[in-house]
Amino acid sequence: MDAIANPTALPAPLSNLTPEEQLLQETVRRFARNKIAPLVREMDEAQKMSPAIISQLFELGLMGIEIPQEYGGVGASFFSSILAVEEVSAVDPAVGVLVDVQNTLTVNALLRWGNHDQKQRYLPRMATDTICSYALSEAGSGSDAFALTATARADGEDYVLNGRKLWISNAAEAGLFIVFANINPGAGYKGITAFLVERSTPGFSVGKKEDKLGIRASSTCELLLDDCRVPAANILGEPGMGYKIAIETLNEGRIGIAAQLLGLATGAWTHALRYSQERRQFGKPISEFQAVRFALAEMATEIEASRLMVYNTARRKQSGLPFLKEAAMTKYFVSRVAERVASKAVEIFGGYGFVKDYPVEKLYRDAKIGSIYEGTSNMQLATIAKQVL
């Protein structure tokens, strides 16, 4: 079996999807199978996203799903972004990160808080050829995101940024960054401000690229701000509004991460199902043994529950309903499901599941990040507890 064999048992579109959503789902599924799948192992080993894949993502409109058509985007919905992330991640969760961060974090932030000039300048680029990265985390501010130490000092019509960002997804490929820095450290989190920083800005540089366990084709880098001069016109929202922007975009982003992990689990289950039907022991396929059948049934049940949670939370967000609790629950639950399903898939493959020649080894490595980034599992539980206790 080829290491990147295309999934063949992905679920059919749900009946409650609109015709437009079904078309998007089917289009992304075909693209992932035909274009991404042949490059998965190569990208993972090289720890580099294929430029050809990036170009095709833009050509298909998958990097600007919610960007209005007047700016060159697709003009579709948040839920459509979630469907796209899910389908891409069923083949390669590393590519899923690229699509997710672009749509659920950075595009969302520009659409909600960008002024007319900023939208005119950046949304057409983000729809056609520019990846945007989200730079909040630092070495000393992970779960405690607002303990960041990067500063921004007013100087005439500019701000001068200094500091270091860490764990920044898609940084190696990005041409635009939403960078969070504090313009008034004495005011604590109320001084945090979001800046739109172009890669070519003097004093800005992308530093070390992390050598990761999983999602290795997705770049994760540090950013260096050394007297980085940014026009005041590039403040996203208003001075001191950065904490609000960060909180609200990350709440939405967690739905995207859950969709990525849902896709991962579906891909792992699909590979395990097919292998169980092909692998024969004691004269029959191992899928006929009760232990394997029950394992696949349990995996399928958890995946279905995850899908319902992801879709429900995405619909709530899209409808303007409260979704803070649901997003935290979904991200927490689906990250656990992805780990369990990927682990069980490795076991069904047996010894073959432990080598790189087969696909589930990679998905098992990819799954671990789900309980860590965009809010650890403990932080999700803390959020849930505040909402229900």
Q: What residues are annotated to the active site?
A: 374
Burial class (CB in 10 A: 0-12, 13-18, 19+), 197: buried
With contact defined as beta carbons under 8 Å apart, do 140 and 125 qualify?
Answer: no
Record the tokens describing residue 333, joined without a space: 């639950």
**C-alpha to C-alpha distance for 118 and 112, rounded to whole angstroms:** 11
**Total Cβ atoms within 10 A of residue 96:** 30
What tokens does 139 get?
């070495």
Question: 23, 24, 26: which is closest to 10 by C-alpha?
Answer: 26
CA separation for the pair 379, 387 (Å, rounded): 13
Q: Where are the beta strands (DSSP E) in the chain?
A: 132-135, 151-155, 158-169, 176-182, 192-198, 204-209, 220-231, 235-236, 280-281, 284-285
Least Cα distance to 122 among 37, 41, 194 occurs for: 194
